[in-house]
Amino acid sequence: MKRPNARPPSRIIDRIRAFELRGLGAIGRGRNFPYLLLGIGLILFPILDPDSSHVNVAADAGHWILLALGLNIVVGYAGLLDLGYAAFFAIGSYAFAILASGQFNIHISFWVLLIASAFIAALFGVLLGAPTLRLRGDYLAIVTLGFGEIVPRVFRNASPITGGVNGIIGVDQPHLPPILGWNGNFGFNPVPYYYLILIILGVSIWLINNLRNSRLGRAWMAIREDEVAAAATGINTVTTKLLAFALGASFSGFAGTYYASKLFVVVPESFSFQAVSVVVLVMVVLGGMGNMRGVIVGAILIYFIQTYLLIQLPGWIDSAISALNIGFLTKLDISGYVQRSNYLIFGIILAGIMLLRPQGLIPSAQRKVELELGTSEEAVADLGSA
Amino acid sequence: MPLLEVKGLTKRFGGLVAVNNVDLSVEQGEIFAMIGPNGAGKTTLFNLVAGLYKPSSGQIFFNGRSVYPVRDFWSTYMPPLAAYYTVADAIRRGLGLGPMPLGLKTHAVTTLGVARTFQNIRLFSYMTALENVMVGEHARMHAQVWDALLRTPFARREERQVRERARELLRFVGLERYGEQYARNLPYGFQRRLEIARALATEPKLLMLDEPAAGFNPQEKAELMQLIKEIRSQGITVFLIEHDMKVVMEVSERIVVLDYGEKIAEGPPQKVRSDPRVIEAYLGKSA
């Protein structure tokens, strides 16, 4: 027997839920609500956590996120495997350091150079991207790897301009007009840097999200999927790829400027292949190529593993051993082994994560379909009921 | 004046002559078919017209404009190098090598109004059906990098229009319900139709279909023929390669037959069907 008024309870819950979402819509349109909370949390973080070293770590993590987001444009959207991303980061950093330091006694404002070095990095993105336009896949990776090695070497050897191995010390720091009892000098206080990178990141995420959902973003993805078909569909593959290199590089220009002014020094060693290019690529791939949220999570995770976990691990092992108080263990010097095999442990962690989640931590829809759904027949069967 | 005119077109791959001195012309508003045995050079000819390959020699005109060779290539694309081109061209001519062989890039040919589909479907697999069609409209969009970055009102308006038009095109090919599906998840027949929708999104004057009925059952073939006729009724000229004689004979108004890269016959279906050289090419010479 069917009662006409009986409704499955789930539908009532749906209605209540829908009503709730409309109510929340006034603040953050329902699905955006968690992000709103996260945003408020991030803004209040330096106030809630008085330990300025934590804020410093967060401020440093910021420029890695920015680098990962920039590389995601090139690798994740346009599908161009770039192993030389450090080159653009180095160019951004040095552009700022040369134009805002005692090196030539040029002191251009940080705020002007923040934009200018993004343009300079973009220009070099085009210059280095142009010779690679005919290359794909492995061959592109090899050439970009070469550029990534050449650029820091040029900076190391062009001593009259770049200070050579010693780099440039005493890079200018940002100034703001005094507000709210704060004198406006950034100095070595991490809190203003934290807010600066937060703003830069917010703007960058907005810009990249716009790009992704634009004519240009679609053209990048079309080239990633099938270059011949993209060209036959009216996409100028040359300019589209160059724009991917240029826009990807421009975000590393932001990151470079921020990095140089926060660190106060620029040395060529900080832009090596293993220090930047690989780490950023790992952030992108491990987080989930092509997905901004995934890339951000990947960047934070890798940064955390590198700067916290690997450094603290020997200490933890030491204290664990002394707590266990087993004689022969204390003689073995396990923590020393761990300390010396930093990269090995990092590699094992990476391999472990990739085995568990080959599609990345938060995969883009594309990778998800590829790795989870498998064959096309199942997916089409779903359509029948739609 | 024909819409597409090909004169003395030749393409060599090493020692192999894939297309040999072919002349043909496609008139405005007709359905023109190209047939021939496997390896006759049909797809190569498509690729030459679309700018994917550069001809070894010959000329291609589209809508009264030279697509190959492009005399004003450098002055159009890179004015500073026009002088270099003029000198190099003069040297080539002096040596008897003919003019500088420069053709339009593939995307420029598409922008002129030539759209195509591929024999082995080439969709953007991990983009939705709707996105695939929206990519097709790329060449007709005007949003610049700044519009894309800052999401200007102009870009927003254009995105809306493009999305709306893409939906219309999906409706036209009968895929309106599958807009949000990944192209690779669509069944084979739908993928072929989606490729046609993507080609139509470029607002072509000439639509080149490379074996559109391959792998279709009789009902799908009938639907396809209907679709081709509808496309033509919108004023788009159709140039197709097809193996299925039933489709070719029913839908096309003029047929050209290629064999070993050479044109062996041309004319209305009835005439071509009874041409002894065509029968020979398809069935072999009687002993």
- Distance of alpha carbon B76 from alpha carbon A328, whole angstroms: 80
Q: Give the pTM.
A: 0.85
- Distance of alpha carbon A204 from alpha carbon A295, whole angstroms: 13
What confidence score (pLDDT) does residue A354 get?
84
Residues of chain B positioned with their CB less than 8 A from the CB of A70: none
Q: Which of residues 116-135 of B touch A (CB under 8 A)?
A: 116, 118, 122-127, 131, 134-135
Of B149, B185, B198, the CB nearest to A207: B149
Give the pLDDT confidence of A288-327 residue by residue, as tens digits.
888 899 999 999 999 999 888 888 888 888 888 888 777 7
- Nearest chain B Cα to A373, which residue? B185
- Distance of alpha carbon B61 from alpha carbon B114, whole angstroms: 12
Q: Would you call B255 an interface residue with chain A, using a CB distance cutoff of 8 Å?
A: no
**H/E stretch holding B144:** none
Confidence band for A52, pLDDT divided at 50, 70 and 90: confident
Q: Indicate the range of A17-21, A94-98, B80-84, B96-100 predicted with least confidence.
A: A17-21
User: Helices A215-225 and B153-172: crossing angle, nearest 10°?
Assistant: 50
The structure tokens listed for B233 are 């009724």
Q: What is the mean pLDDT of residues A1-6?
A: 47
Give the pLDDT confidence of A344-365 residue by residue, as tens digits.
888 898 888 888 888 788 877 6
Buried/exposed code over B261-274 (b: 16+ C-beta within 10 A; e: otherwise): bbbbbbeebeebee
Ordered by where they begin, the domains of chain A are 46-307 (1.10.3470)
Report the largest interatomic distance among the alpha carbons of chain B, rounded to a whole angstrom: 73
Q: Write down the ipTM of this complex.
A: 0.89
Residue A199 makes CB contacts below 8 A (sequence gap 6+) with: none
- Distance of alpha carbon B161 from alpha carbon A205, whole angstroms: 25
Cis peptide before B69 (omega within 30 of 0): yes
Q: Which residues of chain B have pLDDT under 70?
A: 71-82, 85, 98-101, 286-287
Q: Does B107 sit within 8 Å of A231, measured CB to CB?
A: yes
Report in angstroms the alpha-carbon separations of B196 from A39, A92, B118, B174, B282: 45, 45, 10, 11, 29
CB pairs < 8 Å spanning A and B? 131
Give the pLDDT confidence of B236-245 residue by residue, as tens digits.
999 999 988 8
User: How many whole angstroms from its chain centre is CA A209?
Assistant: 14
Q: Count CA atoms closer than 13 A to B10's CA, side-chain side.
A: 12
Q: Does A247 sit within 8 Å of B143, measured CB to CB?
A: no
Q: Would you call B136 an interface residue with chain A, using a CB distance cutoff of 8 Å?
A: yes
Which long-range CB contacts under 8 A does A51-58 form with residues at least 24 apart?
Answer: A52/A189, A52/A190, A52/A191, A53/A190, A55/A190, A55/A191, A55/A194, A56/A190, A56/A193, A56/A194, A57/A307, A57/A308, A58/A194
Q: Would you call B177 an interface residue with chain A, using a CB distance cutoff of 8 Å?
A: yes
Residues of chain A positioned with their CB less than 8 A from the CB of B105: 231, 236, 238
Of B52, B148, B150, the CB nearest to A228: B52
